Amino acid sequence: MVTERAREFDTQDLLINVGPQHPSTHGVFRMVLEVDGELVKDVIPYIGYLHRGAEKLCETMDYRQGIGFMDRTEYLAAFNAELSYVMAVEELAGLEVPERAQWIRMILCELNRLSSHFMFLGAFGVDTGVMGTPFIYGWREREMLIDLFEEISGDRMMYAYFRPGGLAWDVTRNFKERVREVIKSSAQGIKDFDGLFTENEIFVARTKGIGYISAEDAIDYGMSGPSIRASGVPLDVRRDEPYLKYSEVDFQVVTGQHGDVFDRYACRLQEMRESIKIIEQCLDKMADTGPIMPEKMPRMLRTPPGEVYMRTEAPRGEYGIYLVSNGGNRPYRLKVRSACLSNLQALKQMSVGLYVADAILVLGSIDIVLSEVDR
């Protein structure tokens, strides 16, 4: 029975609105935290602030025009997003991509993984509370990569460089030297982050043991990418369903053991080293000259009726394109399977029971890109 006195001291939980304008929601994401003192009792995420209807818009345009929309769904790893889309179209149209174009695609996708993870490291570092330093470190390395992308595709973020069948145009003549140069600086950047974070007592104390999710739960939520690999599930589309030339290169699928925030960070850092290894192998195996488009390309790309689901391993996880065609030059239906959206579902389970500051770290450790969540 509740006495009068007990009722007098009855406390009310506080609702804190984190976002859509908040420094650490990584875009226009909003979550309402129900807190008891400093402890999070409930998390209610709200998404949809960045919905632009990219999928529907693609249905009104021909296949080539859709590439630009794919760039904009996943602006931190646009090459990876384009790749899923063009591969889906190629699968439908039955196009054979020349070998050299495949190597170049692979190199660019892995470089994009590096740039995306650098962005994660920087933003996550700011979430943990370092004033700007990791952000600038990450930005510095990403800048090198983006400069390279600009040289090749002519754009810094929205490349539209992969085309159904191959590439828009050939890479620059000094491509190999430039890539070697850039991955050298990236390797140094990874080392810098290792020094800044991995053995930093406060960073370790803040990130270890929080935001835990078990392997079973991670699978149930449909998580993918580094977020699920940190829980010990060796799920990697590059190895499980090799596309491009991934079956010809040697790399490890990095997994964690604890499924906490630190492991998600460490997995990404290690994965970047693997990416550099992949790029080096690609550079060795790639021919210096050769076609980058099939010889006979139709002037207007038309696909036979049918449907296809094509998935690739983007930096944040499985980025899938479900494409339905009923003949003609535009998709009948396009659906993007977004890795971030699935990963975000686990947010509540990971952050309930933690402190407010930790909930922010958990959100940061999933590494969401809101334009991919909302599309």
Q: Which is nearer to another protein, 88 or 233 (CB)?
A: 233
Contact status: 280 vs another protein (CB under 8 A): no
Residues 6 or more apart whose CB falls under 8 angstroms from that of 185 comprise 141, 144
Instruction: Give SS3 for 275.
Output: helix
Q: Which residue bears the tokens 């799920």?
A: 235
Q: Which is nearer to another protein, 321 or 359 (CB)?
A: 359
Contact status: 65 vs another protein (CB under 8 A): no
Is cis: bond before 20, omega within 30 of 0? yes
Q: What is the footprint of another protein within residues 341-360 (CB under 8 A)?
A: 348-349, 352-358, 360
In the complex, the smallest distance separating the C-beta of residue 343 from another protein, rounded to whole angstroms, is 14
In the complex, the smallest distance separating the C-beta of residue 330 from another protein, rounded to whole angstroms, is 38
365 phi-psi bin (left φ>0, alpha ψ -120 to 50, beta other): alpha
* Amino acid code (one letter) for 141: E
Q: 341, 372 in Cβ contact below 8 A?
A: yes
Cα separation values, 92 from 67, 109, 331, 358, Å = 15, 22, 10, 45
**Residue in 99, 170, 217, 280 binding another protein, rule: CB under 8 A:** 217
Q: Which is nearer to another protein, 95 or 368 (CB)?
A: 368
**Residue in 1, 2, 6, 131 binding another protein, rule: CB under 8 A:** 131
Q: Which is nearer to another protein, 332 or 355 (CB)?
A: 355
Instruction: Give SS3 for 239.
Output: helix
In the complex, the smallest distance separating the C-beta of residue 263 from another protein, rounded to whole angstroms, is 9
Q: Which is nearer to another protein, 15 or 287 (CB)?
A: 15
Which of these ranges, 64-72, 146-154, 202-210, 314-322, lies near another protein under the rule CB under 8 A?
A: 202-210
DSSP 5-62: HHHHT---PEEEEE-SS-TTSSSS-EEEEEEETTEEEEEEEE--TT---HHHHHTTS-
Q: Which is nearer to another protein, 224 or 275 (CB)?
A: 224
Q: What is the footprint of another protein within residues 290-319 (CB under 8 A)?
A: none
- The total number of residues shown for the chain amounts to 375
Q: 45, 347 in Cβ contact below 8 A?
A: yes
Contact status: 133 vs another protein (CB under 8 A): yes
Q: What is the footprint of another protein within residues 71-130 (CB under 8 A)?
A: 125-130
**Residue in 20, 30, 99, 200 binding another protein, rule: CB under 8 A:** 200
Q: What is the footprint of another protein within residues 19-58 (CB under 8 A)?
A: 22-24, 35, 38-39, 41-42
Task: Describe the chain by its helix, strand, coil percentages, rounded to 5.
Answer: 50, 15, 35
Binding mask 177-196 for another protein (x = CB under 8 A): -------------------x
In the complex, the smallest distance separating the C-beta of residue 140 from another protein, rounded to whole angstroms, is 6
Of the CA atoms within 13 Å of residue 73, those in its CB half-sphere come to 35
Contact status: 215 vs another protein (CB under 8 A): no
Cα distance between residue 163 and residue 240, in whole Å: 25
Q: 235, 224 in Cβ contact below 8 A?
A: yes
Distance of CA 212 to the CA centre of its chain: 20
**Residue in 14, 44, 287, 300 binding another protein, rule: CB under 8 A:** 14
Q: Which is nearer to another protein, 329 or 345 (CB)?
A: 345
Q: Where do contacts with another protein occur on this chain (CB under 8 A)?
A: 14-17, 22-24, 35, 38-39, 41-42, 125-133, 136-137, 140, 196, 200-206, 208-210, 212, 217, 220-221, 258, 260, 348-349, 352-358, 360
